[in-house]
């Protein structure tokens, strides 16, 4: 009987000890869960703080760029305050004298007389522009060597448009080789490409650009037949060419068609056998 009582006592003691161990285990488990929750909360707050810091840095950078652009425009405005806003005639004359100096070439033709420019003013809604300039769909160059190579001209011309993507908000308003003369009536012919982008971005809500658009003139060419040799080597074709694109039209807004482009086919129909323009318009409207 005594041994039975002793065994029962030991059993009860073991059970109570086991219950204590279970309680301690549960307590440790709960403590670990709380520590994990605190860790997750701290991690979330840290990530949020990092994101806020990055956004703050971006905002500071954008504000700094706008302040720099505004400062540049203000300095130019102060320099030009005595002369006032440039009129179309003054823009033509000053631009011609300062950026289109005469050049000599061994030719019977005066290339300056064969090159002409049309002055135009376009307005850009800058509230729709992306912060990243690379997403504008507009590429501007201030490299004179690029213009010389692409246009066989050695004039100093200042910043000009290299490319405009057809789905860009600049499409239909700016075209390649447009020369940017003024931004909001401020002379920008000496601006770098970076300053041009900044000035456009900081002009809220509308940026007014004064541009010079190159136009072609007829170039007389005379080929002399020497010693009775009349083999000129020229292969000519008849065709349909774009003579003009109306401003604000669908073709102008698309931006891919240009003055002088030859139309090879319309809606899959070749234009080689088209006899007149009315027949061409019929094909377009089909």
What is the pTM assigned to this prediction? 0.45
> What is the per-residue pLDDT across 66-91, written as a single tens digit (0 to 9) for each?
787 777 777 766 665 544 444 445 44
The upper half-sphere exposure of residue 181, i.e. CA atoms within 13 Å in the direction of its Cβ, equals: 27
pLDDT score at 93: 47
Across 205-216, average pLDDT: 84
Which candidate, 150, 214, 151, 148, places its Cα nearest to that of 181?
214
The token duo for 65 is: 């760029």
Work out the pLDDT band at 35, boundaries 50, 70, 90: very high
Let me know: does 73 contact 186? Beta carbons within 8 Å.
yes
pLDDT score at 125: 86
Residue bearing tokens 């289109």: 100
Across 191-205, average pLDDT: 86
> What is the per-residue pLDDT across 109-132, written as a single tens digit (0 to 9) for each?
444 455 577 888 988 888 888 778
> What is the per-residue pLDDT across 135-189, written as a single tens digit (0 to 9) for each?
888 888 865 444 434 444 444 467 888 888 888 888 888 888 888 888 988 888 8
> What is the per-residue pLDDT across 228-249, written as a single tens digit (0 to 9) for each?
777 778 887 778 888 888 877 8
The upper half-sphere exposure of residue 197, i.e. CA atoms within 13 Å in the direction of its Cβ, equals: 19
Dump the DSSP string for 161-218.
EEEE-TTSTTBTTB-TT-EEEEETTEE-TT--HHHHHHHHHHS-SEEEEEEEEEEE--
């Amino acid at each position: 009987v005594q041994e039975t009582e002793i065994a029962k006592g030991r059993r009860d003691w073991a059970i109570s000890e086991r219950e204590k161990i279970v309680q301690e285990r549960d307590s440790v488990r709960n403590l670990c869960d709380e520590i994990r929750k605190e860790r997750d909360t701290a991690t979330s707050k840290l990530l949020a703080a990092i994101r806020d810091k990055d956004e703050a840095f971006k905002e500071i950078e954008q504000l700094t760029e706008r302040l720099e652009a505004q400062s540049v425009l203000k300095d130019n405005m102060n320099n030009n305050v005595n002369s006032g806003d440039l009129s179309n005639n003054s823009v033509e004359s000053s631009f011609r004298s300062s950026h289109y100096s005469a050049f000599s070439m061994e030719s019977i033709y005066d290339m300056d007389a064969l090159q002409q420019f049309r002055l135009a003013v376009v307005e850009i809604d800058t509230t729709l522009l992306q912060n990243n300039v690379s997403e504008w769909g507009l590429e501007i160059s201030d490299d004179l060597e690029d213009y010389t190579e692409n246009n066989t001209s050695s004039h100093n011309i200042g910043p000009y448009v290299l490319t405009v993507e057809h789905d860009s908000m600049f499409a239909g308003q700016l075209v390649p080789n447009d020369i940017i003369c003024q931004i909001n009536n401020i002379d920008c012919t000496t601006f770098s490409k970076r300053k041009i982008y900044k000035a456009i971005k900081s002009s809220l809500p509308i940026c007014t650009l004064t541009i010079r658009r190159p136009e072609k003139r007829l170039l007389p060419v005379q080929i002399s037949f020497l010693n009775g040799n009349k083999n000129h080597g020229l292969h000519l074709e008849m065709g349909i060419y774009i003579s003009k694109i109306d401003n604000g039209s669908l073709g102008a807004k698309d931006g891919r068609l240009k003055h002088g482009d030859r139309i090879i086919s319309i809606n899959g129909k070749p234009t080689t056998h088209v006899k007149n323009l009315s027949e061409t318009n019929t094909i377009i409207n089909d």
